A = this chain, B = another copy of it.
Amino acid sequence: MIRSHNPATNLAFGPEITPSSHGEIASRCQAAQAAIGPWGTPLGLRVSLMESVAEHLQSVKQELVAFAQEETGLPEARLNGELDRTANQWRIFAKFVQEGSCFGATIDPALPDRTPLPRPDLRMIKIPLGPVAVFGASNFPFAFSVAGGDTASAVAAGCPVVIKANPAHPQLSQKVFNLLVEASRDVGLPESLFGLVQGGAREGLALVQDPAIQGVGFTGSQRAGLALWRACQNLPIPIPCFAEMGSLNPILVFPSALTTRKEALAEGYVSSLTLGVGQFCTNPGLLLLPEGEDAEAFLNLVAKRLGETAPAPMLSPAISHGCEDGWKALSQREGARVLVAPSGDGCSLSPGLAAFQSQAVVDSFEEVFGPIGIVVTLPKDSFTQEASRILRLHQGQLTGTIHGEEGEETELGLSLLMPFVGRIVWNGWPTGVEVTHAMQHGGPFPATTDARFTSVGPHAIDRWLRPISLQNLPASHWPPELGNGNELGIRRRVGGQME
């Protein structure tokens, strides 16, 4: 049984929710599959649906935010902003599919006189993979959950979506799901375009293993993400699984920055590390510093600020316990110097900070989801080699940050970080992920399962589309995207040239 839990009061509330049975999961997946034909939802209706979801979300904003506060303990202002961002994502996708470049519509007209053989008429368009399973994340109850970016991008692609509700906010999930169904009904699309599954790992596994499911979007822990990804690979017909599994988001601080602006660095680092009680996948978990007096002065500043930070409620007792366990393992590693020890009551937690000399780091650190900072100090005479070694130990990351001067330092930072990250941040902090075309929220394994895709921004749609070529198909059967007249006015490539 699943029950809502208020992180602020540490009390359960509301009804007991029964996890979905395998039969229910199967019937929702089948119904989702039956909701579309091979071309997916018609583009016009699809756009209306996306706009309608945005309106529905904002029309009951106060009620949703109030309820989300109870189930997640997140502050009202943050949730208000997150809901607007979530609605905005749907509008961005609606606009993006209307422009239509994402469908890669391409026409290579027949060349009947070509020698030695004529060329047939070839038209290509990207079509939806089919029903997509989406896993709601705990830390963004709107933006990465039931009506979050994975769902919006899959709907934008023309796919039905069956959503595994995050057990940390089961009632909010149901409320938001009801809005999706209402929006679908309002625009005249089948209600079964959306399905909801309540439950935990077992129900999630049953969902991705359903033969109707053709793709998976996941945001969460590495353990859960890898289990789903492996399950998808091991199916009789493997399906793509895009799992965004968070990362340590290394921050590479060069001597110049540490010497000239250690106070600003300390302030920025503490703000980023403790934002949302550290529950961001772009949390700056690993700070690499040149060792010495400046590093010690910086760490004193950081430790002072972190030590003054009061415990704050985490999203769920499971996350809070996970963070405490992670801290325990971290602080017991050989060579750990505990600068700030976190304290908590099993639900709220204050920040923690541990420092290591790089020579002591022979295994990778695991991400501790929460306000836990790991600092590694690097000998000045082998700064580059040691930074390279530490980065290589940890492999793929969502982001990598350079604090340093333009020129040599930045060049070195780029060459060290680029092979391992999806986003480079310069003299800033990685928390804060813009929903815009130039955003890459993804990165080499194990940050995600496929560095070629993003889960934030309009290009997130690319995960759910595949191209199909139509050879000599008569005009009466062309989809509107491929008609000679381009009645939808989308961006296309015709005869090799972009229109």
Contacts and interface: CB of A to CB of B under 8 A. Distances in A.
Interface of A: 37-38, 81, 99, 101, 104, 106-108, 116-117, 119-120, 122-124, 127, 129-130, 233, 237-240, 395-396, 406-407, 410-411, 414-415, 418-419, 421-428, 432, 434, 436-440, 442, 444-446, 449-452, 454, 459, 462-463, 465-474, 476-477, 491, 493, 496, 498
Contact of A434 (B38, B120, B446, B467): B120
A161 to B, nearest CB: 18
A439 B129 contact: no
B406 A474 contact: yes
Contacts of A238: 445, 449
Among A108, A411, A436, A472: residue with most chain B CB under 10 A: A436
Given A123-B438, A237-B445, A419-B38, A472 B425 contact: yes
Contact of A440 (B124, B240, B434, B436): B124
Given A425-B471, A426-B471, A437-B124, A451 B432 contact: no
Contacts of A473: 410, 424, 426
B470 A422 contact: no
A429 B465 CA distance: 26
A468 to B, nearest CB: 6
B474 A428 contact: no
Given A422-B467, A477-B411, A240 B436 contact: no
13 contacts: A38-B418, A122-B436, A122-B439, A130-B419, A237-B396, A237-B445, A406-B477, A423-B469, A424-B473, A425-B472, A426-B472, A428-B472, A452-B463
Contacts of A469: 422-424, 438-440
Given A469-B424, A469-B439, A434 B474 contact: no
Contact of A129 (B451, B463, B493, B496): B451
A424 B127 CA distance: 13
B472 A467 contact: no
Given A423-B468, A423-B469, A426-B477, 18 more contacts: A38-B418, A38-B419, A107-B438, A122-B439, A124-B439, A124-B440, A237-B396, A237-B446, A240-B450, A407-B476, A410-B474, A423-B470, A424-B469, A426-B472, A438-B469, A451-B466, A452-B463, A452-B466
Contacts of A407: 476
Contacts of A426: 470-474, 477
A470 B430 CA distance: 11
